[in-house]
Amino acid sequence: MDGSDGVSELTKDTAVTEVKKTKRRFVGRKKANISSDGQDGSLTTTKKITGPRFTQMPAEFLENKELNDAVRTLLPTNYNFEIHKTLWRIKQLMDSKTPNPEGVKEFRVALQFPEGLLMYSCIISDILERFAKVETLIMGDVTYGACCVDDFSAAALGCDLLVHYGHSCLIPIDICNTSVLYVFVDIKFDLDHFVQTVKFNFKEGTKLILISTIQFAASLGLAKNMLLPTFPEIIVPQAKPLSPGEILVSWLISLRYLGDGRFHLESIMISNPELSAYRYDPYSKSFTIENYDFDQMYSIRRSAIERASKGKKYGIILGTLGRQGNPAIVKRLEEACHAAGKESIILLLSEIFPSKLDLMTQVDAWIQVACPRLSIDWGYAFERPLLNPYEAFVAMGQAEWQSVYPMDFYSKEGGKWSVYYQQ
């Protein structure tokens, strides 16, 4: 059953349509009963941290009836777009801005949404323009994750503030080219159902690890407190710079994932192959057992590395979609190519497609410094090997193949293939 009434039961039914592409490691999921700093992608218990200090928000925002009515009636009540906080931040920046020769403080705000939240972009734009008297721009380029925050484009467009929705602060605001406000978009759901689901499916005292995406991170902390009496060893891990319990695509016993889709969950599964993984979907209230074909993934990636190692000319792709690319890694790869006797060229691309790379027949293998999962998930679709930085260093003999595939590309403690935004 889908879990809409009571809790779901563990069955042997397949919860999704079988994927026919042989190269996919998604091997299906079974319906279930329905709540660190590891540098190699493994997770450790979160240390107790001191809560943030809050500054009192002015009453002109909190007690604005017209504003509150607009937020309540135009936006979903279980989604927190932090409209009041955004308006307050705009006011703070406007107060410190110098007027133009006509005595007017011109102010432009860029709004960046992932695909799933774009449906609310026009409403939010209208609210901000109405109550802050500013110009807004909705950025239309695809936004896959926190690495896609596009402060470069926002600055080039003359924006005074970029509001990035739906992702955490992977890119520190102090290195961005314009003021940036991250809005996590906290989503509320039936937390009691999740908690009862976990209690129904696992024996009392089972050691559990809870993870989620940033939208459900706040609820994850509440769920932990509700489950502690039954599961005293429950863990909400942290891999800095992420929030407790949060995972990324490129960063446990059993693992419980709270969120829709399995893209993020797969990253933890890849770096923790010994753990059982379960997923609770807060929208459908389904609880499923998740599997991953590790042998196939290892075989495909080892084959790509071996083929690439025989090549003489490498193409190094610097991703230009937001902050995906990292020039420091490109430089290290150039140096590695030189040391290995490989010729290299650099190509800038916002998105990487097989048809584009097929046009450059003189390149024997590609190394993409954009999204590490692109090589893992879709590398088989490219005619010539498409490696991520870790695989490239292995191919050139400057790193060892690891028995557990590292997913530390955005970790502060990652290897030399990692994206170091805070070194």
Residue 407 lies in a domain: no
Residue 71 identity (one-letter amino acid): V
Q: Residue count of the chain, please give it.
A: 423
How confident is residue 245, by pLDDT bands cut at 50, 70 and 90?
Answer: very low
Q: Tokens 């994850």 correspond to what residue?
A: 220
| Phi, psi for residue 92 in degrees, rounded to 5 | -60, -45
Distant-in-sequence, close-in-space partners of 229: CB < 8 Å, separation ≥ 6: none
Contact predicate 240/9, CB 8 Å: no
Question: How confident is residue 248, by pLDDT bands cut at 50, 70 and 90?
Answer: very low
176 in any annotated domain: yes
pLDDT confidence of residue 258: 62
388 belongs to a structural domain: yes
Burial class of residue 177 (count of CB atoms within 10 Å of its CB; 0-12, 13-18, 19+): middle
* Non-local CB neighbours of 236 within 8 Å, separated by 6+ positions: 46, 209, 210, 211, 220, 221, 224, 244, 245
Which amino acid makes up residue 102? E
Q: Is 355 inside a domain boundary? A: yes
Considering 142, 168, 184, which residue would you say is the last residue of a domain?
184
Burial of 108: CB neighbours in 10 Å, binned 0-12, 13-18, 19+: middle
Residue 201 lies inside a defined structural domain of this protein: no
User: Rounded CA gap, 282 and 267, in Å?
Assistant: 20
Number of compact structural domains in the chain: 2
The DSSP line for 69-84 is HHHHHHS-TTEE--HH
Range of weakest confidence among 35-39, 238-242, 297-301: 35-39
Residue 110 CA to residue 172 CA, distance in Å, equals 18
The neighbouring-strand residues paired with 254 are 208, 276
At residue 257, the pLDDT reads 60
* pLDDT, tens only, 3-55: 444 555 443 333 333 333 444 444 444 454 444 344 444 444 444 444 555 56
Q: Which is more confidently placed, 58 or 113?
A: 113
- Quick one: pLDDT at residue 104? 79
Last residue of a domain, one of 117, 152, 184: 184
Which of 184, 214, 249 terminates a domain? The answer is: 184
- Lowest-confidence region among 250-254, 261-265, 314-318, 401-405: 250-254
Cα 138 to its chain centre, rounded Å, is 21
Query: Three-state SS for 157?
Result: coil
Count of CB atoms within 10 A of residue 46's CB? Answer: 18
Residue of 187 and 176 predicted with greater confidence? 187
C-beta atoms surrounding 370 within 10 Å? 24
Q: Which long-range contacts (CB under 8 A, 24 or more apart) does 75-80 make?
A: 75/120, 75/123, 75/124, 76/120, 78/187, 78/188, 78/189, 79/120, 79/185, 79/186, 79/187, 80/184, 80/185, 80/186, 80/187, 80/188
pLDDT of residue 241 exceeding 60, the answer is no
From the list 178, 225, 411, 395, the residue with the least C-alpha distance to 302 is 395
Tokens of 401: 């193949």
* Mean pLDDT for the stretch of residues 141-145: 80
Q: Are 146 and 197 in contact (CB under 8 A)?
A: no
Q: Is residue 76 part of a domain?
A: no
Kindly state whether residue 250 falls inside one of the protein's structural domains: no
How far apart CA 391 and CA 379 sit, in angstroms, is: 12
Residue pLDDT, tens place only, 325-337 = 888 899 999 999 9
Are 365 and 311 spatial neighbours (Cβ–Cβ below 8 Å)?
yes
Say which CATH number the domain at 100 has.
3.40.50.11840
In this prediction, residue 74 carries a pLDDT of 97
DSSP 12-77: SSBSSPPP--TT--EEEEEEE------TTS---BPPP-PPPP-PPPPHHHHT-HHHHHHHHHHS-T
Domain residues for the domain of 180 are 82-184
Q: Residue 47 domain-assigned?
A: no
Cα atoms in the Cβ-side hemisphere of radius 13 Å centred on 245: 24
Q: Are 330 and 369 in contact (CB under 8 A)?
A: yes
Residue 117 and residue 115: Cα distance in Å, rounded?
A: 6
Which of 123, 178, 128, 186 minimizes the C-alpha distance to 156? 178
Which CATH number do you get for residue 316? 3.40.50.11860
